[in-house]
Amino acid sequence: MDFNQSVDENLFDRARIIGKPHARIDGALKVTGTAPYAYERNDVVENHLVGYPLGASIAKGRITRMDATAARNADGVAAVITALDIDELPRPASNDAKLFGGDIVEHYHQAIAVVVADTLEQARAATSLIEVEYEQTPGTFDLDDAWKRLQDRDVISEVGDVDAAFERAEVTMDETYHTASQSHAMMEPHATIADWSEGKHLTLWTSNQMIEWSRQGLSKIFGIDADTIRLESPFVGGGFGGKLWVRADAVLAALASRETKRPVKVALPRPFIFNNATHRSGTVQRLRIAANKDGHITAFDHSAISHTLPGGAGEDAVNQTRCFYAGESRRTAHHAIDMNLPESADMRAPGEASGLAVLEIAMDEMAEKLGMDPVEFRILNDTQVNPEEPHKRYSDRHFVECLQKGAEVFGWGERSKTPGSKREGQWLIGQGVAGAYRGAITMDSGARVRVSEGKLVVETDMTDIGTGSYTILAQTVAETMGVTMDEVDVRLGNSAYPVSSGSGGQFGAASSTAGVYAACLALQKEIGKRLNVESPRFENGRVLAGDQDVGLFEIEGEELIGEDTLHFGDFQDEMELGTFGAHFVEVAVHVYTGETRLRRMLSVCDAGRILNPTTARSQVLGGMTMSIGAALSESLNIDTTRGFFTNHDLAGYEIAVHADIPEQEVIFLDTLDGAATPLKAKGVGELGICGGAAAVANAMYNATGIRLRDYPLTLDRMLDRLPAI
């Protein structure tokens, strides 16, 4: 099915199920511990072994010697595979870091061996018996030092005469900011059970967001036909972008199974994940804004650097500055610095999460210079077109309404306009605001729907990473086919099913529901052919056409199947599609210790039709919570001498927890975007993290009068500037 033009009124505008709150249909499995996660799939194979990885203890160099004799002779050990035993495996285009093989070490905790044994304890103990010697070479690990030395900027875009605009400007600001490197820190570790025991067909029960991407990646890595590879990932315990691609767990488990001719399970230990898997790169950003005295912005100049292994893209923190606010002139530049740190790659809202954390502080700083209210300043500089390409209008944009609704509900008008002036006992009270933006990406997505034993069975390789995919796909089928939710059976995460969009980039929900809708229409066509009728209606489990009225599950004959892929047309290239929001935050900062406590947070979101307010709200709350962690505590601390992240576990890497989040509220605007998908829906899973950190920073400034520009906003950064005791 081709989606080649915006849709007008359709069945989803008269919905009885889509757009309505519904509890997760997989919720009972999760809360009872019966949802089948990768490492726990003991039902799928018998007689499996357990693998445990060994990581490099240097950041750059080569392995000169490995002796695994003692490990191979240890109790219960079935095999030891070292990096020197095989040549370097080919890398898919998606992987910047080498996955296994060869003597070259590119980063700390690169996998250099796997021990396979009867039990986890035996495998883990035997890894300590492997002797490794290295030839170490100097590496580059300091992003701040790279910023100081950087001479040229990789200009991404330049519109208008930026330099002239700054010369003419009546008001300008120019500041430098830092965001920290961050870990996905998902609850479920990277884990895989692999069965390659018969040497031809490789099956992996794994934790992965993108089934087809990973199947093709494994085909490249091992040099085998993709049709001989099967992946299953029905439940994923969090990914946030960290499980988009093939990681070391899958590679090591597959190699170990081929070697031992038995199934092998491998989970990456938590301290291993932080340095072996991917993360969000830290950034250094310089942002200049020029404006007239009336508050209209005339120019942006935003440059940033981030780190990456050679060949990587880093964290493009300037992308949103190209299109979020009005302004005739703008220049953006991002330079990815090659460093010998672990691989930086996609993490929830890659680019915008880091970029808006800076842009939205700068917008507040500029509003203060202009003597304007921060909300009104943003409203004044709203745009309904892409400023770089003014012929491209936004398909549907309600950012101003987000700001206005949020200000009204939050009580913004009661905010103290003088920083540091509101106090309750020993606590300084402040409020802050920030805008949110994330592009509304869609990807082609396929599905199959079958009529089987009184159920409509949905099959697609779409994944559920905690987002509610099972539920919204069931809602889509129930709505389109005129049945109840209980009459729909959703099956996900299997490479034997039609290829979907997968989960990532905020495109999963919008794309996969469109794909399932296309499959439902294909099924309706097959039913029409079977009954020899045209344009049948589907209501209350019945098929209606003319004088025919037959139960959907009573149609006789061979099994009815509808399969299709929703292809998104290039008509969308002529417009700008995005999601928008506004965050409002209230904090209390202890006047003596600098401790910051979030008191309440409100997010107002514009993301087209909300498919399920219950699951969508959960997604936005999760993003808001991650933004609070990014603001106040999260930072991968780099040992700039040895080149690794020192706080590589959940004890040292401090994410926001329940006690940090007293009150959160989400409001969805009632909007529709017919250019986005046939359901007029857009993704919302990453919008919640965009801009939230800046709202916290702006609230802290309003509370204390101390402007912090380096994340995380820890108390040590302002202790010497708090009021004297």
Under a CB-based contact definition with an 8 Å cutoff, are residues 92 and 220 in contact? Answer: yes
**Cα distance between residue 140 and residue 107, in whole Å:** 11
Helices (H), 347-398: 352-370, 374-380
Strand partners for 429: 588
CA distance 644 to 652: 14
Task: Say which residues have a Cβ less than 8 Å from residue 530's Cβ, sequence separation at least 6.
Answer: 555, 557, 560
- Residues 390 and 575 sit within 8 Å (Cβ to Cβ): no
Opening angle at CA 277, ends 272 and 280, nearest 5 = 120
CA dihedral 524, 526, 531, 533 (to 10 degrees): 60
Alpha helices per DSSP H over 532-658: 613-632
Phi, psi of 519 (to 5 degrees): -65, -35
Q: What is the DSSP string of 621-638?
A: HHHHHHHHHHHHT----E
57: which DSSP letter? S
The H or E element that residue 428 is part of is strand 427-439
Rounded CA separation 519/14 (Å): 20
Cα 146 to its chain centre, rounded Å, is 27
Which sign does the torsion angle of CA 210, 215, 218, 219 carry?
Answer: negative
Annotated active-site positions, please? 686
Helix (H, G, I), strand (E, B) or coil at 570: helix
Those residues with Cβ within 8 angstroms of residue 545's Cβ, 6 or more apart along the chain or in another chain: 528, 531, 533, 534, 535, 536, 537
Contacts of residue 154, Cβ cutoff 8 Å, sequence gap at least 6: 333, 334, 335, 336
The per-residue DSSP string of 35-56 comes to: S--GGG-TTS-SS-EEEEEEE-
Query: In this structure, what are the phi and psi dihedrals at residue 539, rounded to the nearest 5 degrees?
Result: -140, 130
Instruction: Tell me which residue has tokens 């003014």.
Output: 390
* First CA to last CA distance, the chain: 69
Question: Any idea what DSSP says for residue 658?
Answer: G
What residues have CB less than 8 Å from 610, skipping those under 6 apart? 19, 616, 668, 681, 684
User: Could you give the C-alpha distances from 681 to 7, 142, 370, 392, in angstroms and in order?
Assistant: 11, 42, 37, 20
